[in-house]
Amino acid sequence: MLFPGLSFWQLALVTLALTHITIASVTIFLHRHQAHRALDLSPAVSHLFRFWLWLTTGMVTKEWAAIHRKHHAKCETPDDPHSPQVLGLNRVLWGGVLLYVKESRNADTMTRYGHGTPDDWIEKRVYSRFPGLGITLMLLLDILFFGIPGVLVWGVQMIWIPFWAAGVINGVGHYFGYRNFRAEDASTNIFPLGILIGGEELHNNHHAYASSAKLSSRWYEFDIGWMYIRILELMGLARVKKTAPKLRLARAKNECDLETLQAVITHRYEVLAKYAKTLRSIYAEEVGRMQGIDLAMVRKWLHLDAQELDEASRAKLGIALEGSPALKTVYTMRQELEALWQRSAASKEHLVRQLEDWCHKAEASGIAQLRAFSRRLRSYA
């Protein structure tokens, strides 16, 4: 035993440090580098991460990247490998690792989504061929370093990723939390300080901009994985390729053009968030005139599609809209705006005309907030 006589708390800190290295390896190497190609890593750092994950998880890079890519491609559908919206929260939270193993045996998933992952000699002959060997070596190393308590250290290492990544991120991260962006799935940010799970707590941000190497978005959010990436970049060991686009506003144009359209589509989540903020006073004013209508609920309903509401909520929303022409206008206008980036078959010229027509309609609505929002859209660059 190389480190005899460690107290319980010393051993706990060592274990936390070891599991944090594993979390960093998952978020930086497997997730941001391999699955999404958001950054490049030097060969030495890349292989160090791969070796550590072989020791501490036995996960195969190709399997992890393929399953995660499929999750994004099929999110919240029956083909999603681990959607709590489809399979139920308990099944994903407590049995996420079983869902992972099941999907890893799907040859079609590996073929369709596993491209571009390591395929060198050591991957073929060691890491992929003998995944159990790595975690066995980790057990022997833990015993060598810490004696019999090393078995407990090893046990914590073995359950850390299955619980926090396969369970909490895939489960809670699509069920509870707050949302900065109205992504097309149920993703949520679990907590604004992404430390314990390496920044993966900011899951809604990630689904909104999946190819971004940085997961934090708001000033109060912290992504420790991004901090590590920036340190590696300063050391010349990493190169960031993509981050979430930053909104740039220019002088408002008299007419929308292709640049305006591209900027609006690129920043579509910010557009919807700003729309909600800009029209907030209309909601309060109009709902305040109605009897028996809850402002908070109506505000929530106004930013959901009708099919996302249950029958009772749809009926109450219908009553609110019929009782207020202004509310009906801003609700309809939001739906029409959102439809712009959902019409993938339309030509760019047709979409530019639709955006211009939307702005004209907003400016002619007689609602000051809509006019102000239209002028803001015209300034997107």
CB of 170 within 8 A of CB of 187? no
Q: What is the pLDDT of residue 26?
A: 98
71-120 residue pLDDT tens: 999 999 999 999 999 999 999 999 999 999 999 999 999 999 999 999 99
Of the candidate ranges 228-242, 284-298, 319-333, 346-360, the one whose mean pLDDT is the lowest:
284-298
244-247-253-255 Cα dihedral, nearest 10 degrees:
30
Query: Global pTM?
Result: 0.87
- Asked whether the beta carbons of 8 and 36 are under 8 A apart, the reply is no
pLDDT digits (tens, 9 = 90+) for 26-45: 999 999 999 999 999 999 99
> Locate tokens 């060691």: which residue?
126
What are the structural domain ranges in the chain? 8-240, 258-378
pLDDT at 309 over 80: no
Which of 163 and 2 is assigned the larger pLDDT?
A: 163
Span 364-380, pLDDT tens digits = 988 899 999 999 999 99
Query: Residue 151's Cα: distance from chain center in Å?
Result: 34
Q: Is the pLDDT of residue 304 over 70?
A: no
Q: How far is 84 from 249, CA to CA, in rounded Å? A: 38
Q: Count CB atoms within 10 A of the CB of residue 248.
A: 10
Mean predicted confidence (pLDDT) in 125-137? 96
Q: How confident is the model at residue 157 (pLDDT cuts 50, 70, 90)?
A: very high
The 10s digit of each residue's pLDDT in 100-110 is 999 999 999 99
Closest CA to 295 of 264, 270, 316: 316
Instruction: In whole angstroms, give the CA distance from residue 3 to residue 14.
Output: 11
**Is a pLDDT exceeding 90 seen at residue 51?**
yes
What is residue 270's three-state secondary structure? helix
